[in-house]
Amino acid sequence: MLKPLNGHRLRRGRFSESGRIYMLTTVVENRKPAFFDFRLGRMVVDQFRSAEESGSVHSLAWVVMPDHFHWLVELRDLALSDLMCRVKARSSNAYKRHTGCRDRLWQKGYHDRALRRDEDLQQAARYIVANPLRAGLVKRLGDYPLWDAIWL
């Protein structure tokens, strides 16, 4: 199996700061479309909500695509690495219990981008939730079941 050529750069300079806005992305192992069935994607959404309810983050926008997710959050009391480890592990466990699959669900690592407060957060949220439209999965955003944003 090939390793990502630039995977080591995803960790370089990574810093978690409470109160900062981050756009987070992670990918299913080998880009397998694990979440084409929206009920399976709801297992990831449940973990977004759990992180919100625990006070770890304030979710601003998210989308669960068949083979990855994007999540715009304001980080609260948890480091990025701990947050992503928790979400990926718990969603993976739920997925495996439901499907009986034993394979790894998520690729190692994740991508994060810290946003400045003066950046247009709504524009970032629009980018995130428009993923299903750009991918040709639906013709109208309202037809896709696995997204949300606080502005909409």
pLDDT tens profile 56-83 = 999 999 999 999 999 999 999 899 999 9
**Binning pLDDT at 50, 70 and 90, where does residue 8 land?**
very low
Q: What angle do CA 31, 34, 38 make, to 5 degrees?
A: 135
Q: CB-based burial of residue 142 (10 Å sphere; 0-12 exposed, 13-18 middle, 19+ buried)?
A: exposed
Strand partners, 75: 57
Question: For residues 137 and 120, which has the higher predicted lDDT (pLDDT)?
Answer: 137
Residue 117: its pLDDT value, please? 73
Q: Which of 51, 43, 41 is nearest to 72 (CA)?
A: 51
Cβ distance 9 to 41 under 8 Å? Answer: no
Residue 3: its pLDDT value, please? 39
Q: Is the pLDDT of residue 141 over 70?
A: yes
Cβ distance 144 to 83 under 8 Å? Answer: no
Q: Where are the domains of the chain?
A: 16-149
Q: Is the pLDDT of residue 133 over 80?
A: yes
Residue 150: its pLDDT value, please? 92
Give me the CATH code for the 16-149 domain, please: 3.30.70.1290
